[in-house]
Amino acid sequence: MDGTTVIATAKIARLAVHSAPAGGVTHRLKNPTAIGAPLTFMVLDSQPAAGAGSGWLKVALPLRPNGSTGWISQADVTLTTTPYRLVVSESKHQLEVLYEGQSKAKYPVGVGKSVTPTPPGTYYLTELIQPPDPHGSYGPYAFGLSAYSNTLQTFAGGPGQLGLHGTDTPHGLGHDVSHGCIRVANSVISRLAKELPLGTPIEIRG
C-alpha cells in the first residue's frame, strides 16, 4: 500500500543490534525503554535468512548520531504497519500529516532557534509521554523522536533527545523558538496522540 511504513516492536527484554545480517553485535537495547515505552523501530529494509532461521530487518535506531541504522532479527520483534507519515518544513513552519501518501492536514509549528536548530533528516516517533501538567511547557502530550540535538548533548536532565509536543506559548507557533523540538498547538498534539502509533516516520526538511 502506498505510503505504508513497517514498524518493528521488540518482544524480548534486551534486543541485540547487529552491524549486518548475522554480523557482530553493536548495541543491546533495553525493552521497555527508560521511560517505560515499548522499544520500537522504523523498518528500512529486510533480508531473508540464509537457512531455515528467521530473517533480518534493517532499522533506524533511536541513538546518536542521527541517522544511525542497524540490523535486528525478525524473530525478536512483532511487525505492524502505519499509513501515516509526518513532514515538517522548517522554512514554512509547517507540519503536514500524510495518510497513505496523501495529504490529510497541515498545521503551524515552532522549530529550533538558530543557536539550537532542529536537525533535518528522516526519523520516527519513539515514545509518547503524557506530562502531569497538560498546561505546562510540553502541553498535554509529547512524542519522543529518534532525533537528537546537534548542539545540546544534554537538556533538562535528558540526553538532548528531540520531541514533537504541545506548548503553553501558542504565539510561538510559526517561529524559530525552541531548543530543537517541534511545537504544535495543544489541540493538534492531542489529536495526533490518538492517531499515530510509535514508529511513525517524521521527515524534517530545512
pLDDT digits (tens, 9 = 90+) for 92-144: 999 999 999 999 999 999 999 999 999 999 999 999 999 999 999 999 999 99
The pLDDT value given to residue 49: 81
Catalytic: which of 18, 93, 179, 181?
A: 181
The pLDDT value given to residue 157: 64
What is the rounded radius of gyration, in angstroms, for the C-alpha atoms of the chain? 17
Give DSSP secondary structure letters for 92-123. TTEEEEEETTEEEEEEE-BEE-TTSPPPPEEE
Query: CB count, 10 Å around CB of 85?
Result: 22
The single-letter code of the amino acid at 11 is K
Whether residue 1 has pLDDT greater than 60: no
pLDDT digits (tens, 9 = 90+) for 190-205: 999 999 999 999 999 9
* Strand (E) or helix (H) holding 2: none
| CA 176/CA 80 separation, integer angstroms | 35
Residue with cell 533538562: 156
Is 175 annotated as catalytic?
no
Structural domains in the chain, sorted by start = 5-82 (2.30.30), 84-205 (2.40.440.10)
φ/ψ of residue 100, rounded to 5: 55, 40
- Compute the average pLDDT of residues 76-84: 98
Is 135 annotated as catalytic?
no
Name the grid cell of 67.
541517522
Name the grid cell of 128.
509518547
pTM beyond 0.75, yes or no? yes
Catalytic: which of 165, 171, 175, 179?
A: 165
| CA 193/CA 143 separation, integer angstroms | 8
Query: CB count, 10 Å around CB of 154?
Result: 10
On the CB side of 26, how many CA atoms lie within 13 Å of its CA? 15
Please answer whether residues 65 and 76 qualify as being in contact, where contact means their C-beta atoms are separated by less than 8 angstroms: no
pLDDT bucket at 50, cuts 50 / 70 / 90? confident
SS3 state of residue 172 = helix
